[in-house]
Amino acid sequence: MALARTYSVALVGVRGHMIEVEADIASGLPATILVGLPDTALREARDRIRAAIVNSGEAWPSSKITVGLSPATLPKRGSGFDLAIAVAILAAAEAVPANALAGKMFLAELGLDGRLRPTPGVLPAVVAAEAAVDTVVVAGQNAGEAALVPGVRVIGANTLLEVIVWLRGGGAPSPPPSPEPPRGPVPGLARGRKLDLSEVLGQAEARMAVEICAAGGHNLSLLGPPGVGKTMLAERMPTILPALSTEAAIEVMSIHSVAGYLTPGGGLMTVPPFCAPHHTSSMAAIVGGGSGVVRPGAVSLAHNGILLLDEAPEFHRDVLDALRQPLESGEVVIARAGAHAVFPARFTLVLAANPCPCAKTAGPGKAGCSCSPAARRRYLGRLSGPLLDRVDVKVRLQPVSRSDMLYDRKFAEPSAVVAQRVAAARERCAARYAGTQWRVNAEIPGTVLRRSFSPGPAALRSLDRAMELGQLSARGADKIVRVAWSLADLAGADRPGPDQVNLAISLWLGVAR
């Protein structure tokens, strides 16, 4: 047989596209031609595949080989097509039955000795292939990741020879005895469950704000001198969030898979992700991008979780302002000449900042802050007004004395207790928005909020007065109503009242006590 075809997957962002891999063997001078917009890594596959086939004990066809990757208009990147091209060539040379490739997708890099090497992005690739094939063949190290997608048979192989034997009717390959180490640094995914909210003493208002934001998915700003617990609060926020659903976990893990941060054999992620990039991070590291392969940034790695910007005024101004679009749309769109990638980015933003550059705290025996009012304004002015307008809850933390910490030990609730209230509030929210695409109050569009979920004229009197005084924008008014709904959900009320709206206004203005 001179022609054979099989399937692989090309990833653009976290979206997979089925690629038909065709191999044609025709008379002519021996050569291997690869068509279909391959990149440099994929063009080098010709030499890798030939060495892998020969070192697996198979003959390389001494003819003209043309490999087509369709659709030809979609750019193909990476080495994950190696295995699909190899089995297509072997089927065209009648070394394996061509009908054995039906209903199968192949995704793995080949070593020169025929070993199958893992590739990033296997999880979203299998999700994309689920509707088109019933069996996927991947490297053994990727088998556990691919098996997270239900309804697909996963074959994990160690070598090309094992795949050839299986396609000829032999037994299915066995997975490797032990997974290889992670392919890169793993963000703080599970660290939140080892911490507890009760460890933050003397900051009852801030703990309440964290609970409100966890219940409604609201963005949070924490302003205060060093050592008052801003970072501690943010790091413990995942401990009170509900566990990820299966659908949300696969969505989050698909992003981390594309980034190459998944630990082999780690299982399904249940803890919401927590990402805290350093303030020297670049625009591409925060938002996503790259000169070659487009990769997700911190805002996407924190999807369905928490993004903490500690020492927020120290971040570059353009990096901070770049957060405004994903905060509104819940996704990042990165356009390149040859690709248009979309990454989910629906996260809860936590900004932590000192009130001035010196960050000194006034008190007995202390020199206190030496910054001028202009220096303070310049420092906090790095957080632009449009960005702060997208922050629902703003809290100013004060220094805590030893007596305050000792007193608060009796009232600081553990994360498990707070998590129960958050879960109950989210259940009420889910029941209210049943049949819609929204999950938490922070996601409700303003038009729908005003039309279908308005608290009522009596409850909104103070909000109307604040708008007349110019204290908040229309976006801020919508955010206040969303926070009021979260307060009502935590209180078990059917609808926000004047008390909830007034508290939401004070939290938005940063004057709650």
Please name the helix (run of DSSP H) or strand (run of DSSP E) that holds residue 288, with its range, or none.
strand 288-289
The answer to whether residues 169 and 198 touch, using CB atoms and an 8 Å cutoff, is no
Give the phi and the psi of residue 388 in degrees, each rounded to 5: -65, -25
Residue 403 is predicted with a pLDDT of 87
Look up tokens 């999700």; give the residue: 127
Task: Give CA–CA dist 342/345, Å, rounded.
Answer: 9
Task: With residue 151 as reference, give the H or E element that holds it.
Answer: none
- Tens digit of pLDDT at every position of the chain (513 positions): 589 999 999 998 899 999 999 999 998 889 999 999 888 878 888 999 999 999 999 999 999 999 999 998 888 888 999 999 999 999 999 999 999 999 999 999 999 999 999 999 999 999 999 989 999 999 999 999 999 998 899 999 999 999 999 999 888 776 654 444 444 434 444 443 478 999 999 999 999 999 999 999 999 999 999 989 999 999 999 999 999 999 999 999 999 999 988 877 677 888 999 999 999 999 999 999 877 778 899 999 999 999 999 999 999 999 999 999 999 999 999 887 767 889 999 999 999 999 888 877 554 445 577 788 888 889 999 999 899 999 999 999 988 888 888 888 888 999 999 999 999 999 999 999 998 889 899 999 988 988 889 898 888 999 989 888 888 888 889 999 999 999 999 999 999 999 999 999 999 987 654
DSSP run (H or E) holding 387: helix 385-388
Q: For residue 440, give the nearest of 414, 456, 422 by alpha carbon.
A: 422
H, E, C per residue of 200-243 = CCCCHHHHHHHHHHHHHCCCEEEECCCCCCHHHHHHHHHHHCCC
Alpha-carbon 306 to chain mean position: 10
Q: Which residue has the tokens 């369709």?
A: 70
Give the pairing of strands 135-139 and 153-157: parallel
Helix, strand, or coil here: 282?
A: coil
Q: Which residues pair with 332 in a beta bridge?
A: 343
Q: What is the pLDDT of residue 171?
A: 80
* CA–CA dist 428, 158 (Å, integer): 49
Phi, psi of 315 (to 5 degrees): -70, 155
Query: Would you say 255 and 303 are in contact if contact means Cβ atoms under 8 Å apart?
Result: yes
Tokens of 12: 């653009």
Confirm or reject CATH 3.40.50.300 for domain 191-359+369-442, answering yes or no.
yes
Q: Which residues of 235-248 are buried (b: 16+ CB within 10 A; e: fewer)?
A: bbbbbbbbebeeeb
CATH topology of domain 3-167: Ribosomal Protein S5; domain 2 (3.30.230)
Q: Which amino acid is located at 204 in the chain?
A: A
Residues sharing a CB contact under 8 Å with residue 433, sequence separation 6 or more, in sequence order? 439, 444
Q: Are strands 340-344 and 331-335 parallel, antiparallel or unpaired?
A: antiparallel
**What's the Rg (C-alpha) of the chain?**
27
User: For 477-500, what is the HEC assignment?
Assistant: HHHHHHHHHHHHHHHCCCCCCHHH
pLDDT the model gives residue 180 = 43
Place of tokens 């390959």: 173
375 φ, ψ to 5°?
-65, -35
Q: How far is CA 229 from CA 142, 222, 334, 369, 479, in A?
A: 40, 9, 36, 19, 25
Strands 135-139, 274-275: pairing kind: unpaired
List all residues 6 or more positions away from 154 whose beta carbon is below 8 Å from its beta carbon. Answer: 126, 135, 136, 138, 143, 146, 147
Q: What is the pTM of this model?
A: 0.88
